[in-house]
Chain A
Amino acid sequence: MTRTVRKAAVLGAGSMGGGIAAQFANAGVPVVLLDVTAEQARAGLARQIKAGAFMHDSAVALVETGGIDADLGRLADADWIVEAVVENLDVKRALFARVEAVRRDGAAVSSNTSTIPLARLTEGLPERFARDFVITHFFNPVRHMRLLEVVAGPRTDPATAALVREAADRLLGKTVIDCRDTPAFIANRIGCYWMTVALMEAFAHGLTVEEADAVAGRPFGIPPTGIFGLFDLVGIDLVPHVWGSLFDALPADDAHRAHDILGQPRLRAMIEAGQVGRKAGGGFYRMVKDAAGRKTREVMDLDTGAYRPEQPAPAVAPDLATLMARDDALGRYAWAVLSQTVSYAAAVAPVIADDPAAVDAAMELGYNWSRGPFALADAVGCRTIADRLAAEGRDVPPLLAEAAAAGGFHRPPLRAPGVLRLDDAAVMEDTPAACLRDLGDGIACLSFRTKMNVVSEDLLAAVERVTARRDLAGLVLANDHPRAFSAGADLAHFVALLDDPAGLDAYILRGQQAFRALRAAPFPVVGAPQGVAVGGGCEILLHCDAVQAWAEAGLGLVERLVGIIPGWGGTTRLLLRMAARADLPKGPLPAPAAAFETIAGARISRSALEARAMGFLGEGDGITMNRDRLLADAKARCLALAPGYAPSAEQAVALPGPSGRVSLMNGVHAARAAGRLSPHDVVVLEELAAIVTGGDTQPAALVAEDALYALEREAVRRLAATAATRDRLRAMLETGKPLAN
């Protein structure tokens, strides 16, 4: 029997435990969340709700709270029990003994420890416990940090480790990195070292806060908080805690010990003064209001500890190789940080990881580095680094020496079994707007590749070509842009066409026809949004036979914000979906009202679950928690639809006509009176209300979908002719922000 996690339990409702429980719930897995008292567990749950850990309100109901003393018995049917209580060996072991008494055979137990070795956690506990025990080290916030470090011990049953890996991967959406049972595992071992070096070298090189952050941030491919900003974010008061326990655990000869971060006088003074970072109102940076009431940032002078106005960041080369060749404090600082980080990673990698590629993956996913230390070294040149180290009389770790000799580390990225990547697939057709690849089994994948994947005329042409093919068993729409599945219509093109009404009409009609061709094609089409799909990007998904969405995908019809309505069939398709929903009241108005509400709201969903509640995803659509698995899941869904596939017929629907429009507009006027809509919103929504209620129909007649598409086009044409819509479009194009005129 395959073991899967059907029910989970989390012990400890702090920020990690609560976040882990929320992520189980996001995956649809019922979870028991216990803390010392039921009240503490409820408070922990409330903090997670407030912090946005849940993908939708409906997931909250899957979390059952309780107190450890009263409710430990509720763990009896849990398949995976995660311990996330205080970082104290005795407390954890005492709790494990109690868990052992109630858990069922084969239930996995894991500890979310970040510092305590597995060997010590399981010491003295029965074999049955050790067999089912692993360490699972999550990162905060659990919902958004994709790294999970897993440590299995010598006594761990491989099946238990496999169960945890599988559930963490598929249900919780994490990239599982296997770590050895060494201090701080991988990400924090390297990450804390980097933080120490970047901080201490900044002091040693006499840099200002702004200078250090300018170098340690973007050029390293590290978030722009840099190093001082990162300490402010993390909380400087945690340094004695985190680094203290790390130094307790590190080997005596570890290179990290060369830097006395715990004795750093400025840090100690700041902790003393309570200047511990953002949560305390300021650390190295602080926000103050100037005389005019504007918020400005001040920066600490590292010598005096006094705050002064922030200075512009120094100009630094974005590429590290150029930067570290500079013969000044900034260049020497860049080299000091890079050389030590790469050397340290190369020195410890063979000890902490089975595969050095895991080090890069851990830093990328756990610290949001765009490149891990080895990829960074490859970018700068391993030979350059090794030669300069040698020239300075410093050690060159063997791993680095090997890489220098081999021309680089060039580690293939880690990949879990079953993961499918676009790069794996052979290219069938390649244009600047889109790339068509062969995913195997007759399934092709069309990937947009315009800027933010906007739907340009060229992209529409690519859709036209692929829908005309007769050699496909199915089509997946997927791409690997970091943020956007598609940002919608090509706004610049749309604006350029404002003075060419015929051209604009043609663009709208072409989009409708291309999207409708996806429905009419003799093969199934599956959309796989991995990021935001807004406007036309959402409309194309509404034309797919099925959508397989990444759990964090953001879908939205936001056309109102630019003064138009969804005119590429989005209004029609959402309306028809709402009309087919069984959970809406009967009668002519509820479906139009539901479609109207979603489109008028012009919101982007904050998750796929929310997109489902908004009507963008239907019953037949799936959600993939692990972004790496999205393409494979989408292909599988497409394959499942392929046998005997027949395109769906054109639909007709009963709609209320003018009385429904009057009703919807009455709500619009009320919202306008209450100050929730702007004057032009009313004009836009009048057009929308007319479409979703079917124009001049009446409830006893049927409206064909073709007529609805025509109503969309007319509405866009009329709105695009208004000055207010033009102002909105231009404002969005120029500022990226909606204009509320």
Chain B
Amino acid sequence: MTRKAVIAGYCRTPFTFAHKGALAGMRPDDLGAHVVRALIARTGVPPAEIEDVIWGCAFPEGEQGLNIGRVVGMLAGLPETVAGATINRWCGSSIQAVQMAAGMIATNAGEAFVCGGTECMSRVPMMGFNQLPNPAWDAQMVADYINVGLTAERVAGMYGLTREDQDRFGHWSQSKAVAARDGGRLAPEIVPVPMGDTLVDTDGCIRATTLEKLATLKPAFKADGTVTAASSSPMTDGATAVLVCTEDFAARHGLTVLAAVKSFAVSGCAPGVMGLGPIEATRKALARAGLTIADIDLVEMNEAFAAQAEACRRDLGIPEERLNIDGGAIALGHPLGATGTRLVGKAASLLAREGKTHALATQCIGGGMGIAMILEAA
């Protein structure tokens, strides 16, 4: 029989704007180590029992280089016997990290894993310091691969999503996040970060705003386009972590199990419509779990852009009331390599909090990919 991987803890740093946000002054490896220390403390897992730190990062260079997964574990004070790896699948990096752990558990390659991710977009730019695409690609191919904002414009056109549709989606995400924050529903997952004399303990990107105000923004990527800053996820600094282990391990160490990994899938699509990646990935993951979308009680889908998230929601038939109930990346922020673990950790936490059975965590990925993981209540 295969061994089941469970999520036995989740936490994250506040997410704050790149450059102008409160965490811009902190190194990504320090931010990652901070969240790992908190995960260890909150779950009570004995650090020496951990097999590996599997760490997602979309642009693992500069301060995010040197195999940041290993660096984070060392800086967090984990025993040197705990290994560390860095996983790069761009925005899908840290869902992939969780799946790596689940796979290793399934093949008897370890019992407990710290999975997570860091992206400090203040300090390592999106697309890296030396963006050097293969010159054999033509300009359109390079643009489709890299200029994700234009892919959102394309998806909006394909699905007939207007400026108003997208503004409404962005406003909806903000409203849900404001309500969750004000209702104290975000605080439990947040690890405050000391920055000098101040303690950064709340998300910095959430904005209480109005549709009227959003309507005044200029298009961000295309002169006559429909995608604005308010219908895009912002450049963000942040780190996230989950504890992934066997059921047996959790029981032995008295850990609180939030959910179990039920199935997983990745898929590819045309780079120019990368935002549609979640559709096929979700269908594959549902099939592998023997479920339909109707069986999914809660969806954590990344909102890279309102256009792609709404397109995926419509295409997959996800009821609005099940989608990103505490707000999505447009409001919370999207620290690329760290987002996947937030989606998994959040989905697992919501299953426990809401008393539901099945949840989906899914993302689109630049270059034309989707990634999806289905979780079930423990």
Contacts and interface: CB of A to CB of B under 8 A. Distances in A.
Interface of A: 585-590, 656-663, 665-666, 669-670, 673-675, 699
Given A585-B130, A656-B132, A674 B139 contact: no
Contact of B132 (A589, A669, A675): A589
B359 interface: no
B132 A670 contact: no
Contacts of B220: 674
Interface in B176-232: 219-225
Nearest to A663: B131
Nearest to A665: B139
A587 to B, nearest CB: 4
**By DSSP majority rule, is chain A's interface helix, strand, loop, or mixed?**
helix
A661 B129 contact: no
A659 to B, nearest CB: 4
B222 A674 contact: yes
Going nearest first, the 3 A-B pairs with the smallest beta carbon separation are: A675-B223, A658-B135, A587-B130
B135 A661 contact: yes
Contacts of B146: 666
B143 interface: yes
B137 A670 contact: no
Nearest to A657: B135
Nearest to B132: A659
A585 B135 contact: no
Contacts of B135: 657-659, 661-662
A699 B139 CA distance: 21
Nearest to A670: B147
B142 interface: yes
B134 interface: yes
A589 B131 contact: yes
A587 B65 CA distance: 14
Given A666-B139, A674-B222, A674-B223, A659 B134 contact: yes
B317 interface: no
B129 A585 contact: yes
B306 interface: no
B143 A666 contact: yes
30 contacts: A587-B130, A589-B129, A589-B131, A590-B129, A656-B132, A658-B135, A659-B133, A660-B132, A661-B135, A662-B132, A662-B133, A662-B135, A662-B137, A665-B142, A666-B131, A666-B133, A666-B147, A669-B147, A670-B143, A670-B150, A673-B150, A673-B222, A673-B223, A673-B225, A674-B219, A674-B221, A674-B222, A675-B223, A675-B224, A699-B132
Interface of B: 62, 129-135, 137, 139, 142-143, 146-147, 149-150, 219-225
Given A585-B62, A587-B130, A670-B147, A662 B222 contact: no
Nearest to A587: B130
Question: Which of B132, B137, B143, B146 lies at the interface centre, i.e. has the most chain A CB atoms within 10 A of its CB?
Answer: B132
A650 to B, nearest CB: 26
Contacts of B62: 585
Contacts of A669: 139, 143, 147
A593 to B, nearest CB: 9
Contacts of A585: 62, 129-130
Contacts of A670: 143, 147, 149-150, 221
B223 A663 contact: no
Given A585-B62, A674-B219, A674-B223, A663 B143 contact: no
Contacts of A660: 132
A590 B150 CA distance: 24
**Main SS of chain B's interface residues?**
loop
A666 B142 contact: yes
Contacts of A675: 222-224
A588 B135 CA distance: 15
A589 B130 contact: yes
A669 B149 CA distance: 12
A660 B142 CA distance: 12
Given A662-B137, A669-B139, A673-B150, A588 B223 contact: no
Contacts of B129: 585-587, 589-590
A658 B221 CA distance: 25
Contacts of B223: 673-675
Contacts of B130: 585, 587-590, 656
Given A585-B130, A673-B221, 11 more contacts: A590-B130, A660-B132, A662-B137, A662-B139, A662-B142, A663-B133, A669-B139, A673-B222, A673-B225, A674-B219, A699-B132
Contacts of A674: 219-223
Contacts of A590: 129-130
A669 B141 CA distance: 12
A670 B223 CA distance: 10
A490 B354 CA distance: 74
A491 to B, nearest CB: 30
A175 B137 CA distance: 60
B45 to A, nearest CB: 37
Among A663, A666, A670, find the residue whose CB has the most chain B CB atoms closer than 10 A. Answer: A666
Nearest to B149: A670
A665 B132 CA distance: 11
Contacts of B139: 662, 665-666, 669
A460 B170 CA distance: 59
A590 B129 CA distance: 7
B131 to A, nearest CB: 5
A150 to B, nearest CB: 42
A655 to B, nearest CB: 11
B288 to A, nearest CB: 36
A669 B138 CA distance: 12
B147 A663 contact: no
Nearest to A590: B129
Nearest to A659: B132
A589 B133 CA distance: 11
A660 B225 CA distance: 28
Most A C-beta atoms less than 10 A away, residue of B129, B131, B137, B222: B131
Name, among A590, A657, A663, the residue most crowded by chain B CB atoms within 10 Å (CB to CB).
A663
Nearest to B124: A585
A588 B146 CA distance: 19
A698 to B, nearest CB: 10
Contacts of B131: 589, 663, 666
Contacts of B134: 659, 662
B292 to A, nearest CB: 39
Nearest to B150: A673
A472 B150 CA distance: 59
A618 to B, nearest CB: 22
B247 to A, nearest CB: 45
A673 B219 CA distance: 10
A174 to B, nearest CB: 36
Contacts of A666: 131, 133, 139, 142-143, 146-147
Contacts of A586: 129
A588 B131 CA distance: 9
B231 to A, nearest CB: 15
B228 to A, nearest CB: 11
A659 B128 CA distance: 14
A576 to B, nearest CB: 18
B73 to A, nearest CB: 26
Nearest to A668: B139
A670 B148 CA distance: 10
A177 B150 CA distance: 60
A657 B223 CA distance: 30
A44 to B, nearest CB: 23
A660 B130 CA distance: 8
B171 to A, nearest CB: 23
A654 to B, nearest CB: 12
A628 to B, nearest CB: 40
A699 B130 CA distance: 11
A14 B62 CA distance: 44
Contacts of B225: 673
Contacts of A588: 130, 132
Contacts of A699: 132
Nearest to B135: A658
Contacts of B137: 662
